[in-house]
């Protein structure tokens, strides 16, 4: 069984660790960080092996009563692959360590495509990641773009797509540290980076995005205008979107009128942290006019990349060569139905 290390136990790292722990074809070898506060103490409560990224961190952890299994080198020595969930740019610095160790590694969307030479989205390019040394699971917004546009492309409906993204200001747990209030901050460039990022996975996509940061923290919201290859019915479009198991069609007229009501639904479903691994797309808002398609959806920035990461582990290690089988296995483990 492949042993997987998680470096960085923050918003993404803790979710990746829990997801690995749910799989029966891989094993969590431990988590490694520099923190010694309540965050890593929760990992201790879950009986995960704790490793310290630096000697200073190890000393601090021990002073807080945390049992430290070893340092970063030691967790790499006993692992087959590492998932780096450290903050933006730190992961890029760690790449040299992973390459020297000759260990496979996965980065996330905060890093550049060139850092790994491959970007990953399970429903789009699983097979191209098989047995590679490294990949980058694209960002939350880019993941949502790829899932929706890939579904339309599979049905031979997609000509080109133009999207406007309302981006959350910061992660919920960091709301006291930063973010914005009483304003909106547009991203300077059009296209914003998400469109070109999607093309790092699928260069054939004709997609342009614009983005604005808004004063809330729960999730992102997207509005899309898609030019279809031909005139289509709403039913044809919905059937195409339903080919993705990671798009959840929701109904505005059932009270799901906002990102907070959607979050509440997932909390009531018993998902850890109320996590929404799927793209929540409003079925009754979706409109088709001739060869134009309009729709909107919500993206859980803390959760959407978790199933993608599990699939990327399987692809890089060769545990599963069939992308559809990996996706189904991951979905089952995380309660995606």
What pairs with residue 104 in β-bridges?
81
Per the listing, tokens 């996330």 go with: 108
Cα–Cα distance measured from residue 68 to residue 53, given in angstroms and rounded to the nearest whole number: 11
Strands, sheet with 2-7, edge to edge from the N-terminal-most edge strand: 68-71, 50-52, 26-33, 2-7, 81-84, 104-108, 134-137, 119-120
Say how far apart CA 31 and CA 45 lie, in whole Å.
13
CB atoms within 10 A of CB 171: 16
CB 45 within 8 A of CB 19: no
Please identify every residue annotated as catalytic.
140
* CA atoms of 201 and 321, how far apart (whole Å): 18
């Amino acid at each position: 069984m492949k042993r997987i290390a998680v470096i960085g136990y923050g918003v993404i790292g803790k979710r990746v660790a829990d997801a690995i722990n749910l799989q029966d074809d891989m094993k969590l070898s431990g988590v490694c960080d520099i923190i010694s506060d309540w965050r890593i103490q929760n990992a201790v409560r879950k009986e995960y092996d704790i490793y310290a990224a630096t000697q200073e961190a190890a000393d601090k952890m021990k002073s807080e009563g945390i049992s430290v299994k070893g340092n970063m080198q030691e967790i790499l020595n006993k692992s087959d692959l590492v998932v780096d969930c450290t903050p933006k740019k730190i992961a890029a610095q760690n790449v040299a360590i992973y390459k020297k160790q000759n260990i496979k590694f996965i980065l996330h969307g905060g890093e550049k495509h060139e850092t790994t030479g491959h970007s990953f989205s399970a429903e789009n390019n699983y097979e191209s990641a098989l047995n590679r040394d490294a990949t980058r699971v694209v960002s939350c917004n880019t993941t949502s773009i790829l899932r929706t546009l890939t579904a339309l492309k599979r049905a031979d409906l997609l000509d080109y797509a133009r999207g406007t993204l309302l981006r959350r200001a910061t992660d919920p747990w960091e709301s006291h540290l930063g973010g914005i209030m009483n304003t909106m901050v547009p991203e300077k460039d059009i296209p914003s980076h998400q469109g070109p990022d999607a093309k790092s996975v699928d260069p054939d996509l004709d997609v342009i995005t614009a983005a604005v940061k808004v004063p809330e923290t729960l999730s992102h919201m997207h509005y899309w205008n898609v030019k279809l290859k031909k005139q289509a019915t709403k039913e044809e479009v919905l059937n195409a979107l339903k080919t993705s198991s990671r798009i959840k069609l929701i109904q505005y007229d059932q009270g799901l009128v906002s990102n907070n009501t959607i979050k509440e639904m997932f909390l009531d479903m018993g998902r850890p942290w109320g996590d929404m691994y799927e793209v929540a797309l409003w079925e009754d808002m979706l409109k088709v006019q001739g060869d134009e398609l309009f729709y909107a959806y919500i993206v859980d920035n803390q959760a959407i990349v978790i199933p993608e990461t599990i699939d990327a582990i399987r692809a890089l290690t060769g545990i599963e060569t069939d992308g559809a089988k990996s996706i189904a296995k991951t979905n089952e483990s995380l309660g995606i139905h």
